[in-house]
Each structure stands twice: as structure tokens, then as C-alpha cells.
Structure 1
Amino acid sequence: MAQSNIKVAVQKFGNFLSSMVMPNIGAFIAWGLITALFIEKGFFPNESLAKLVDPMVTYLLPLLIGYTGGKLVHEQRGGVVGAIATMGVIVGSGIPMFLGAMIMGPLGGYVIKKFDRAIEGKVKTGFEMLVNNFSAGILGGILAILAFLGVGPAVDTFTGWLMAGVDWMVAHGLLPLTSILIEPAKVLFLNNAINHGILSPIGAEQIRTDGQSILLLLEANPGPGLGILLAYAFFSRGLAKQSAPGAAIIHFFGGIHEIYFPYILMRPLLIVAAILGGMSGVFTFVLLGGGLQAIASPGSILAILAATPGGAYMANIAGVLVATIVSFAVASLILKTGKEKAEDIEEASKKMQEMKGKKSSVANTLTTNQGAMPNNVQKIVFACDAGMGSSAMGASLLRKKVKEAGLSISVTNTAISNLPNDAQIVITQEELTPRAQNKLPDAYHISVDNFLSSPEYDKLIDKLKNDHDTPTEELVEEVEKEAAPVEQDDSLLRKENVFLNQEFANKEEAIRFAGRVLVDSGYVEESYIEAMIERDNMTSTFMGNDVAIPHGTEEAKKAVLKSGFTVLQVPQGVDFDGEKVRLIFGIAGKDGTHLEILSGIAITCSDMANIEKMVKAETAEELMELLNGEGTSS
């Protein structure tokens, strides 16, 4: 328990340090460009313009970090006091004081925050501005003096020890060993603290004396992360394999190293690949004389090339390439020989967000991602990509719950792109919630990872019961219209489209089989099959309770000729991204004519006892009777 608490504390600390640096990356880039272009050993040496370099790295960058750190703690006043305090540590030191700014900025914000709370409600009317200004000035001044006398010299001494240690490691050929600390620390989101708090100040000193610094490549090298992402692209499967190429481009050219951290979290052993890749890259830099003449921020290959001095291109490119090759080789071995399972990039991304201090925990299968629920809810909308399958099933289940609770609340389903502006509550699969929030930011959003786990909806029903006014006549009419039975077309599900005792090697084979049945039955055009694959790749069509409902994308609706279903019984199950599926319902929906039967399927499949009966059904007629509610649990 204690170890877990320590880990969480370290992760939050790393996230806070990153939050001080990331908003100011533009300033680091500006300083880096001016340095690379105009210093004596730059691309276009210019003595006048080079005068900008020292003031920017000495004053501008630390002050921005200090201001941001203070603002994170106590908004504008915290930022101002944090900047004043940072000025003391800058003047009290002889080197760029990024680390000191990371200390004094938040400290300044914390001190003024405590003061403001202490005097809250005690200042006489008319004296607020006077007290605010003088308190910020006095406390900021005191902190600046303390920083000048104590913190600046202390950080100066500490940095001197680090520089001596680095010199010793370089002299003894041990610099590659720094990767043992740097690579794991990056995954804990301490990358900005290491790069800008420790390596950059020492590197800036080396640039002043030597014209370049190898230290600026230790954290910025994109090779280790690129190798891991390429290994996923070649040797993984599922969503991780599909997303890895795009992540590799963003990481390598965009310099966003955080994008590969979830892939390591999926397979923690991959940290070995990152460490060995980092060590190999550093060894190559040392061997060939690599280095940068400015900070490469963000850690993009483009930023590295822009900050590379004229004679170090071969060394820097070789170091990145070697790191990529070694990391790729080790990661490939780990992925190919490790335990076979479907890597869950979404789950790993949640872990990453938790490490960064953001809310993304899942309580059971129903989680909210906003504050208080709106009062007097009258309209709930389930949304999915196409509005054809999963959202219709979820809406059916919740509508049944709403009716049983005696509530007059409209429950409908639609595609995310068609979300109505008057929707008060929007329910989506977890992966789709961000899209729904962008479409309708003012609604109350709920994420669901199991549309068929109807008991989970009781939580929502309980909240609605506690605060629901008398519905309007218009709403009652709308609810009654939704609940009215629709004449069911017997051609939607035919006996010849029910397939028992099927076996599939993987989910794609199963989806293609279902799609082929829909095509051969005249429900859809040939292109619909690929759209079914694409839809499942976007967001899994696994619904929970061993059920999947593959269907096409929203764009593929034009390929639907008429509504229809196919049912595949897979007693031994087939893997849908790590979830076992034993019943597959291939769906083609046109003009809502499929919704009545889909509603029935949803209600039947919400009970695992019914699932077991359908999986054991010995004839197509028996399975169809169960879907129609004959012999099922209520």
C-alpha cells in the first residue's frame, strides 16, 4: 500500500512539473532557433542577434516556468508572486535556473494562496485592492530575497555536482548508463523535469563553452519510442497494432513522446527495450561526437536536426537510427514471445491519464465524466458512430427501465454526428465519449463499456427518480410514441440466416462471414462488408454478455438496401479484442425498420441465463424462439 502511494505521488509530481513546462514550449523553441542560427558556431553567426540568447535562457525561460508554476497553484496572483520569487533564484545563481524556477514558482503560489485564505472575509470593504497588491509585493519580495540568499546558491551547488558527475561519466565512457534512469522516468512523466530541470541547464553551460552538448540528446532522442511503436505495428494485433503507425508519426515528427507511454504500460517489460535503445543511442552519440547547439523541444527529429551543429549531422542521425533499431529488435522479441493476449491500448491510455492526474477511472461499467446531473431530465440520447446498433440496444434497455420506474423521460438513439441540441444526458461507449462531448459540450455525458449490463442502468434510474418534475404533455406524447410497438417484419431475420456451432480463427473472419450472409440475402451491397470491419476497428462492437453486433459505419448506410439480421452461434467463442464472444448478430439497418427486433434482442441478451440458452440451442427455430422471448427469463 505504501509503495502504491509513493508511486502515485511520484506520478502526480511528474505531471505537475510537466504542466509548468508544456505551456511554455514555444518560448523554448524560439530560444533554440535563435541559438542555433546566430551564435558564433550557428548556421548564420550574428554577434548582434546572438545577444538575445543569454537573456532568454537566463531570465525569460525561468520566469515563464516560475509564473506558470505559481499560476497552477493560485491562478493569476500565484503566477505573479511565483515570478517575483523566481527572480531571486535567477539572480542568486550563475547558471540558467530552470530547476530553481520549478521550486520557487509553485512555492510563491502556495504562500500567497495560504495568505489569501487566512484573510478571507476579514478585509474591510474598499481596502481589497490595497491589501491584494501589497500582500503580493511583500510576500513576493521576501521569497525573492530568500531565493537569492539560499535556494539559488543551493541549486547552483547541486547543479555543479551533477555537472561534475556528468563529466566523470563522459570521461569513463559511462554516459549511456543514464538511460537506466531516464527512460523509466519518462514513462512516469518526469521527462520534462529531467530535460528542462537538469539536462538543459547543464547543456546550456556546455554550449557556452563548447558550442554543443550531448546532454540535450539524452531525453530528446525519439529513437527508443519509435522502435517500440514500430514493433507494435508489425507484431501486435487489435487496436494497438492499428494505432501504432499513426502514433509513430506523431511521436517521431511531432515530438510528442507521451504518445508511446501507453504502449509500454500495456507490456511493462517493454521498458527494457526503451532502456537498451536509449543506451545504444547515447553510446553512438558519444562514439561519433554527437550533440546539439540548442534545446530540441519538443523531441522531434525535425527539432533535433534544426538544433544540430554543422559537423554533427551524421552522429545525431546515426544515434537516433541505432536507438530505433535496438529498441525495435528488443520490443519485437518481447511482443512475439510474450503471453498471447489482445493488448488493450484504451486501458493503457486510462492508466496514463491516471498517472497524469486526470480522471479516467471506471467504476463497474457505468461511469460519468462530468459534474452534477441536470435537474428535471426529460431527454436521454444513446449515441454511437452509426446510430444503428449499440446505441439502439442501449436505448431499448434503458427505456424499459425508465418505463418500469414510472418515469416519463424520452430515451432515443442516434449517430454522434446527429446528436440533438436538446439532449440533456448523452450515453456513449467510453471510446466515443470525447467525440460526443465535442459535439454537445453542454450535455451531461455518461460512458458505458457494457451496453447489455442492464443492472448498471439502475444507478442512473435511481438518480432520475430523486429529481424529476411532472412531465409536459408534449414529452408524454413523445415517450408514448417511442414505446409504441412497431409491426415486426418477418423478413428481417430468416431461419436460413441463423448459423449454429460456428468456429472462427479471429473476429475479422467472423465479421466477414456475417457480412457475406447480409450480402447474399440482399440486405446490403458488397462494400458493406469492409465497412463492418472498419466500424469494429474504430470502436469494438462487443456489447457485453458474450455478445457482439458487427455493423457498418455511418457512411456505409447508403450501402444498406433493406434492414436485416444474421445470427452466428459460436459455442467455443471468438476473441473480440480480449473479450470472448459466443453470439454474433450481424446488422443492417435502414430507416429504423430494424429497431424493434434489435430492441427485443437487447432485452433478451441482457440476461446471461438467456445467453446460455441461445448458445446451447440445437436448431435455428429454437434460437429464434428464444430471441422472440419464448422460454426466456423475464
Structure 2
Amino acid sequence: MNDAGAAPEGTWVRLRTWLQRVGGNLAGMVMPNIGAFIAWGLLSALFLPAGWIPNEGLASLSEPMVTTLLPVLIGLTGGRVVHDQRGGVIGAIATMGIVVGSDVPQLLGAMVAGPLAALALRQVDRSLRPRVRAGFEMLVDNFSLGLLGLAMAVLGYVAIGPVVSVVTVTLGDGVDWMVANHLLPVVSVIVEPAKVLFLNNAVNHGVLAPLGAVEAERIGQSLVFMIETNPGPGLGILLAFWLAGPRDVRPTVPGAVIIHFLGGIHEISFPYVLMKPRLLIAAIAGGATGVATFMLTGAGLVATPSPGSIFAWLAVMPRGGYVGPLLGILLSTLVSAGVGTLLLKAERRKDTAGDLADARTRSSANKWSASQAREA
């Protein structure tokens, strides 16, 4: 019985480890370039026609940044992770093939092409370097990178770019369909548990941010940017712990609230959910409430707020578009806090009943031990 129970648990642990590794790799390509994303987001918020200071000339920077600069930076970073500087160079070259071969922002494509090209170059280097005579190393290194980079750029233009474009457009159409059919809140059933497993950066920067970038380029804002970055569900969880959590944990909550809500470091709230897994229900309820509110109010952001603090949200809200996002954060906080408080109180009552039963059992055992001692 123990072996049968251990097998599924071991499979789950391996799957979670693999997902965390993949998510970490995806996030590792994006996080070093967050400054560039913020620059693009601020530029869009300020100078696009719907921005605070509309300027046609400066607004023309927005499209090249999201279609060329950001993908190339991601491809370069992804390649560098695999094969240092040479990997970064060939990753950027390969990404350019995808950028030119597609008419949508290729952030997802860059995450594929950069590491793939660097991996190919690493294998070529391992094969050639032992065979290169002294004095010819630089010549062989440069030409091998150039020739393979050309091949990867052509491959990206012909194959990878079109495939990723189809995937991106299909996912975007799926999001649009969910919005049209009022089903987008269901996404919280997937997103909130993934966040708790520390896959938040992978979900946001690897999936949602590219989809949001496509929609924002088309209509000037996107609701998709708000799904994972909403600080409301996590803030509600922390407030629930402050109201009804274990007494020895409550003193840690105020500091966590500041880090989470003002600093945008959502990871600070994840251990609280892992401590009481049933609070996933509260997180999902809060997330779904927030998304539903965003849909009903027509809310959206012009770029992904990173980190997901209230200040980052305010920075990328479109002009005149404050009510919907702030209302969504407020309602998602209240719902997750309310549901979380009820769950914690119910668990506390159950634990109290269990403690009473354990105390009675221990009392009976102690009484039996004492009687045995007297008889002895």
C-alpha cells in the first residue's frame, strides 16, 4: 500500500520539479530584461494616442520596441544562459529571423529560438575545438558562429517564426473567445495554483505577457496583463492569516503585506498558501472575482506591470482607466480575504476538536499508566 501511494507522489514531485525548472528557465530569459519592458510600457502609457502625453513621433518607438528590441533581448539572454556570450550572439541572430518572418511580436518565438540556437552552437564548438590547430581558434570560432547563425536565422524565418505565430494567434483567439463568452475568470483555476508552485513568472512572462503585448498593440491595452499580476488574491490571503491564522504566524503578516502589495514580490504570500493548501480555494475565488471585474468594467493595462505592485499598476494604467483596475484589485482582495478567513476558522475549529480528542486520549492513557504503576 505504501509503495502504491508513493508512486503517484513521486511522479507528482518529478512533474512539479520539471515545471519549476522550465518555468525558471523561461523567467530567466525575461527577468533580466524587465527594465526594457518597463521602458516600453511607460513609453506606451505616455505617448500613444490613448496615453497621457500623446506624441505621434515618440509613439512610433513603441512598435519597433515590442516587435524587434524585446524579442532580440530575450533571444540574446536565452542564448547566453545556454552558452555564455557566443550563445547570446547566435541567439540574437536566430531571433532576428523569427522577427522578420512574422507580423506579431515574437516573445514566445525568442524563448524558443535563442536557447535552441545556442544549444546547437555549443554542440558544434565541442566537436570542432579539439580538432582546431593553434592559431586558428578565432577564425574557426567566428566562421562557425556566423555560418550556424545564418542557418538558424533562415530556420527561424522559414519554420519557427510561422509556427510560433500560429500558436500565438491561436492562444490570443482563445483568450478573445473566453472574453466574449465571459469565461476568462475560469483561467484563475489554472493560474493561481501555478503561482503557488512558484511558476508565476513562467505563467506571466512566458504565456500571458506575449499574448497581452499582441492585444495591446492592436487596441492599446489588454486585460491579459492583469490576470497573473493582480496583487489582490495574495493580499487577501495575507489578511486572512492576520485575522484568523495561527497566532505564531500573525506577527509576520504586516511585513509580508508591505512586501507583497507595495513591493510587488508576490512570492512572499506563497508559503502562507502552502502552509494551508485549502487556501487555494480563496486564491482562486479572489482571482476569478478580479478577472470578472476587469471584464465587466472593460479594464486593461498598456503593458505588464512588473513587479506586480500597486505602483507598477498605476504606472501602466491607460489615461482615464483607473476605476476598473483598482476596483478589481479591491474586490479580489475582499473575496480572497473573506473566503480565506472562513476556511482558516473552520480548520481551527476542527483542530480544536481534534486537540480535545487527543487530550482525552492522552488523559486516559496517563490514567491507565498511573493505575498500572500503583498495581506494580
> Is this a same-fold pair by TM over 0.5?
yes
Residue 17 (structure 1) aligns with? 26
Residue 182 (structure 1) aligns with? 191
1:134 Cα offset (Å): 1.3
Give the distance between the partners of 1:268 and 1:9, measured in 2 at CA. 21
Residue 164 (structure 1) aligns with? 173
Is the CA contact 2:27–2:205 (under 8 Å) kept in the aligned structure 1? no
Give the distance between the partners of 1:169 and 1:163, measured in 2 at CA. 10
Amino acid at match of 2:255: G
- Calculate the TM-score normalised by the size of structure 2: 0.86
1:112 to 107, 112, 121: 121
1:122–1:255 Cα change, 3 Å: same
1:123 Cα offset (Å): 1.6
Amino acid at match of 1:216: F
1:341–1:87 Cα change, 3 Å: farther
1:239 Cα offset (Å): 5.7
Pair 1:8 & 2:17 matched: yes
Residue 265 (structure 1) aligns with? 274
Give the distance between the partners of 1:321 and 1:286, measured in 2 at CA. 15
1:331 to 327, 340, 346: 340
Give the distance between the partners of 1:82 and 1:242, measured in 2 at CA. 47
Give the distance between the partners of 2:159 and 2:349, measured in 1 at CA. 55
1:42 to 44, 51, 59: 51
1:180 Cα offset (Å): 1.0
Pair 1:221 & 2:230 matched: yes
Percent of residue pairs bearing the same amino acid type: 54
1:269 Cα offset (Å): 1.8
Give the distance between the partners of 2:303 and 2:327, measured in 1 at CA. 19
1:78 to 87, 101, 117: 87
1:131–1:243 Cα change, 3 Å: farther
Is the CA contact 2:26–2:206 (under 8 Å) kept in the aligned structure 1? no
Report the RMSD for the aligned CA atoms in angstroms: 1.9
Residue 290 (structure 2) aligns with? 281
Is the CA contact 1:17–1:190 (under 8 Å) kept in the aligned structure 2? no
2:143 to 110, 127, 134: 134
Pair 1:33 & 2:46 matched: no
Give the distance between the partners of 1:182 and 1:13, measured in 2 at CA. 16
Residue 324 (structure 2) aligns with? 315
1:60 to 64, 69, 74: 69
1:20–1:208 Cα change, 3 Å: closer
Which SS does the other structure have where 1:121 is aligned? helix
Residue 588 (structure 1) aligns with? none
Which SS does the other structure have where 1:310 is aligned? coil
1:91 to 100, 109, 121: 100
* Cα-to-partner distance string for 1:306-333 (whole Å, 9 max, x where unaligned): 2112232111100000111111112222
Q: By percentage of residues, which structure has more strand?
A: 1
Give the distance between the partners of 1:120 and 1:241, measured in 2 at CA. 59
Give the distance between the partners of 1:241 and 1:20, measured in 2 at CA. 36
Task: Find runs of 4+ consecutive structure 1 residues off by over 4 angstroms.
Answer: 339-342
Residue 301 (structure 2) aligns with? 292
Amino acid at match of 2:256: A
Is the CA contact 1:90–1:97 (under 8 Å) kept in the aligned structure 2? yes
Is the CA contact 1:182–1:219 (under 8 Å) kept in the aligned structure 2? yes
Give the distance between the partners of 1:120 and 1:262, measured in 2 at CA. 47
Residue 354 (structure 2) aligns with? none
Amino acid at match of 1:123: V
Pair 1:124 & 2:163 matched: no
Is the CA contact 1:14–1:188 (under 8 Å) kept in the aligned structure 2? no
Which SS does the other structure have where 1:295 is aligned? coil
Higher-RCO chain (CA-CA 8 Å, sequence separation at least 6)? 2
Q: How many residues align?
A: 343
Which SS does the other structure have where 1:33 is aligned? helix
* Cα-to-partner distance string for 1:144-190 (whole Å, 9 max, x where unaligned): 11111111111111111112211211111111111111112222333
1:63–1:232 Cα change, 3 Å: same
Residue 534 (structure 1) aligns with? none
Give the distance between the partners of 1:4 and 1:209, measured in 2 at CA. 41
Give the distance between the partners of 1:54 and 1:239, measured in 2 at CA. 51
Give the distance between the partners of 2:299 and 2:273, measured in 1 at CA. 27
1:148 to 157, 166, 171: 157
Q: By percentage of residues, which structure has more helix?
A: 2
1:336 Cα offset (Å): 2.4
Give the distance between the partners of 1:123 and 1:239, measured in 2 at CA. 64
Is the CA contact 1:24–1:64 (under 8 Å) kept in the aligned structure 2? yes
1:339 Cα offset (Å): 5.7
Give the distance between the partners of 1:36 and 1:213, measured in 2 at CA. 12
Amino acid at match of 2:37: F
2:258 to 226, 249, 252: 249
Give the distance between the partners of 2:253 and 2:132, measured in 1 at CA. 57
Give the distance between the partners of 1:104 and 1:189, measured in 2 at CA. 25
1:18–1:209 Cα change, 3 Å: closer
* Cα-to-partner distance string for 1:344-388 (whole Å, 9 max, x where unaligned): xxxxxxxxxxxxxxxxxxxxxxxxxxxxxxxxxxxxxxxxxxxxx
* Paired residues for 1:521-532 under 5 Å: none
1:301 Cα offset (Å): 1.1
* Cα-to-partner distance string for 1:6-65 (whole Å, 9 max, x where unaligned): 221111111111111111111111111001000010000011111111111111111111
1:262–1:209 Cα change, 3 Å: same
1:105 Cα offset (Å): 1.4
Is the CA contact 2:27–2:206 (under 8 Å) kept in the aligned structure 1? no
Which SS does the other structure have where 1:218 is aligned? helix
Question: Which of the two has higher C-alpha Rg?
Answer: 1
1:132 Cα offset (Å): 1.3
* Cα-to-partner distance string for 1:85-109 (whole Å, 9 max, x where unaligned): 1111111211111111111111122
Is the CA contact 1:95–1:201 (under 8 Å) kept in the aligned structure 2? no
1:146–1:329 Cα change, 3 Å: same
* Cα-to-partner distance string for 1:501-536 (whole Å, 9 max, x where unaligned): xxxxxxxxxxxxxxxxxxxxxxxxxxxxxxxxxxxx
Amino acid at match of 2:53: F
1:188–1:110 Cα change, 3 Å: farther
Q: Which runs of 5+ in 1 are unaligned?
A: 343-571, 573-634
1:238 Cα offset (Å): 5.7
1:239–1:73 Cα change, 3 Å: farther
Give the distance between the partners of 2:189 and 2:228, measured in 1 at CA. 12
1:130–1:206 Cα change, 3 Å: same
1:219 Cα offset (Å): 1.2
Amino acid at match of 1:78: G
Residue 415 (structure 1) aligns with? none
